[in-house]
């Protein structure tokens, strides 16, 4: 049984939403034994200064990330295609955050 | 600050610092009248405020001693947060005690310049933690009791006590949740964690009865103070629920004493020498509330008050 005890808790990524209507934003990571503990730790580590109204935690192992080697193939091709941006539209004053 | 309309939040451009620090902090005592309620004796109210202020102040100090000693960084922050919550409650309550007393003493005078015999906290607040299991057991008992207390105190006739209690309810709800979560994890965990959690419970169990023993001052302050005896049913029900989930046994009455060898308490100072029975009899039913404390308080005060006493009136 003692062989099953992990001496280091798994890593979790923490996302906090500052207020209603805004997105959850990645704020950092922490270690916890499970999701429930991760949520409590996130509350204690990342919302001490009144930063949040909602928290997500995700196991870091469950995040699939693009690698630096993929940079050119992934992101290079969009660099010269300005017509994909809404540059040619007039944005109404009442539409913020764009 | 709340938004019923999502667009209202999106168009709120005045708080650019929102990702670094939150906004919308509020003074819990804003607009609360500080005059004493009619028919309330100032000395009694001051003494009562000291009781529940000292509970928070002394336990806060014990929790602060876990900083750099906690088993995990994340739990160290959690414990420090709880210590800060309690310190905040103590500051407001000490300030109220000073106002009710009317002798011009402020929170610092009361925290840093009182002698051990003038402190009024229950003994549960001052004992040393032998290990993390002991800390969690003590925190579970303390938070369950204090949440029940603050919940009722938020209906106090004293508007300041009522406002302080209402603020504290939210804080202590989390403290109880934190302690209950760890009690279940340790109790229903490995044989070692279970043994140490049970040892922690055994060690704090003899200190529980004192929490519910009414003091004459509490009895005189009808409608202002809370009768601690009235908190027992809620306390017992919550403890039973947590211990059942943790597959732990509530220690039988009288089964453990403060110097039980299982918890490694040989170094703990007994307030009065002699057997447990004689010791308890000599202490009375509300020893902490009457200012009778163990040698552990002297140790706490020498650390907590040392700087303030070495540099009287010092300001940084």
The pTM assigned to this predicted structure is 0.83
pLDDT score of B256: 46
Report residue A98's pLDDT band, with 50, 70 and 90 as the boundaries: low
Q: Provide the pLDDT for residue A93.
A: 83
Q: Rounded to an integer, what distance in angstroms lies between the CA atom of residue B251 and that of residue A64? A: 49
Nearest CA to B58 out of B86, B26, B24 is that of B86
**Of the ranges A66-75, A78-87, B73-82, B161-170, which one carries the lowest mean pLDDT score?**
A78-87
- DSSP count for chain A of H helices, then E strands: 2, 3
Q: How far is B15 from chain A (nearest CA, A)?
A: 11
> What percent of chain B lies above the pLDDT cut of 70?
83
Q: How far is CA A1 from CA A6, B198, B247, in A?
A: 11, 21, 19
Q: How far apart are CA B62 and CA B50, in angstroms?
A: 18
Is B6–A20 a contact, with Cβ atoms under 8 angstroms apart? yes
Per-residue pLDDT, B64: 96
**Which has the closest alpha carbon to B123: B314, B279, B247, B313?**
B279
Binary contact (B11, A41; C-beta < 8 A): no
Per-residue b/e over A78-93, b at no fewer than 16 CB within 10 Å? eeeeeeeeeeeeeeee
The pLDDT of residue B14 is 55
Q: What are phi and psi of A20, to 5 degrees?
A: -60, 140
Among A2, A21, A98, most B C-beta atoms within 10 A, so best to mutate, is A21
Chain B residues with CB inside 8 Å of A45's CB? 74, 77
Mean pLDDT taken over chain B: 87
Cβ-defined contact of B9 to A22 (cutoff 8 Å): yes
Whether A30 and chain B come into contact, CB under 8 Å, resolves to yes
Contact partners, residue A59, CB within 8 Å, separation at least 6: A10, A11, A12, A13, A35
Closest chain B CA to residue A47:
B22
Look at residue B75 and tell me whether its pLDDT is greater than 90.
Answer: yes
* Residue B89 reports pLDDT greater than 70: yes
Q: Is residue B122 pLDDT above 90, yes or no? A: yes
CA distance B148 to B132: 24
C-alpha of A65 from chain center? 12
pLDDT digits (tens, 9 = 90+) for A35-88: 999 999 999 999 887 778 899 999 999 999 888 888 888 888 887 777 777 667
Residue B51 predicted with pLDDT over 90: yes
- What are chain B's domains? 41-251+289-310 (1.20.1260.10)
Residue extents of the structural domains in chain A:
2-86
CA atoms within 13 A of residue B261's CA, in its CB half-sphere = 0
What confidence score (pLDDT) does residue B95 get?
96
How far is B294 from B272, CA to CA, in rounded Å?
Answer: 8
Chain A hits for B1, CB-CB cut-off 8 Å, are 19
Name every chain A residue with its beta carbon within 8 A of the beta carbon of B75.
41
Residue B95 near residue B111, CB atoms below 8 Å:
no
Q: Indicate the fold that domain A2-86 takes in CATH.
A: Ubiquitin-like (UB roll) (3.10.20)
pLDDT > 60? residue B238: yes
Q: How far is CA B300 from CA B63, B117, B273, B297, in A?
A: 11, 13, 20, 5
**A74-83, B201-210, B235-244, B252-261: least confidently modelled range:** B252-261
pLDDT at B278: 59
- What residues contact A74, with CB distance under 8 A and at least 6 apart? A66
Q: With contacts defined as CB-CB under 8 Å, which chain B residues touch A96? A: 10-11, 13
Average pLDDT over residues B63-71: 92
Q: What is the dihedral of CA B18, B24, B28, B30, to 10 degrees?
A: 140
Q: Please tell me the predicted confidence (pLDDT) of residue B205.
A: 96
Least confident piece of the model among A44-53, A85-94, B20-29, B232-241: B20-29
Q: Does B90 have pLDDT greater than 70?
A: yes
Q: Select the residue of B1, B2, B21 nearest A49 (Cβ to Cβ).
A: B21
**pLDDT of B117 above 50:** yes
In this predicted structure, what is the pLDDT of residue B314?
82
Q: Give dist(CA B21, CA B16) in Å, integer.
A: 10
How much is the pLDDT for A73? 86
CA B232 – CA B226 distance, rounded (Å): 12
């Amino acid at each position: 049984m003692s062989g099953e005890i992990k001496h280091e808790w798994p890593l979790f990524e923490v996302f906090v939403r500052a207020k209603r209507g805004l997105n959850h934003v990645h704020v950092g990571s922490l270690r916890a034994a499970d999701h429930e503990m991760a949520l409590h730790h996130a509350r204690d580590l990342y919302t001490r200064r009144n930063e949040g109204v909602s928290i997500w935690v995700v196991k870091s192992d469950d995040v699939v990330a693009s690698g630096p080697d993929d940079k050119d193939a992934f992101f290079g091709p969009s660099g010269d295609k300005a017509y994909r941006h809404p540059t040619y539209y007039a944005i109404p004053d009442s539409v913020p955050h764009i | 600050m709340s938004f019923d309309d999502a667009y209202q939040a999106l168009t709120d451009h005045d708080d650019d610092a929102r990702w670094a620090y939150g906004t919308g902090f509020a003074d819990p005592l804003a607009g609360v009248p500080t005059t004493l309620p009619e028919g309330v004796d100032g000395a009694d109210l001051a003494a009562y405020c000291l009781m529940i202020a000292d509970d928070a102040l002394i336990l806060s100090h014990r929790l602060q001693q876990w900083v750099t000693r906690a088993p995990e960084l994340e739990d160290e922050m959690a414990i420090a947060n709880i210590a800060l919550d309690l310190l905040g409650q103590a500051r407001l309550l000490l300030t109220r005690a000073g106002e009710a007393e009317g002798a011009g003493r402020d929170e610092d005078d009361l925290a840093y310049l009182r002698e051990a015999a003038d402190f009024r906290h229950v003994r549960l607040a001052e004992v040393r933690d032998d290990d993390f299991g002991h800390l969690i057991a003590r925190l579970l008992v303390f938070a369950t009791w204090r949440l029940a207390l603050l919940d009722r105190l938020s209906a106090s006739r004293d508007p300041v006590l009522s406002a302080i209690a209402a603020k504290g309810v939210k804080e202590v709800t989390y403290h109880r949740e934190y302690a209950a979560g760890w009690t279940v994890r340790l109790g229903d965990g490995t044989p070692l964690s279970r043994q140490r959690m049970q040892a922690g419970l055994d060690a704090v169990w003899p200190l529980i009865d004192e929490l519910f023993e009414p003091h004459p001052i509490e009895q005189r302050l009808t409608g202002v103070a809370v009768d601690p005896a009235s908190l027992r049913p809620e306390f017992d029900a919550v403890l039973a629920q947590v211990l059942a989930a943790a597959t732990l046994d509530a220690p039988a009455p009288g089964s453990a004493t403060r110097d039980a060898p299982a918890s490694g308490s040989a170094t703990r100072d007994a307030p009065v020498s002699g057997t447990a029975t004689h010791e308890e009899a000599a202490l009375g039913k509300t020893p902490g509330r009457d200012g009778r404390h163990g040698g552990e308080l002297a140790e706490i005060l020498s650390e907590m008050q040392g700087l303030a006493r070495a540099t009287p009136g010092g300001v940084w």
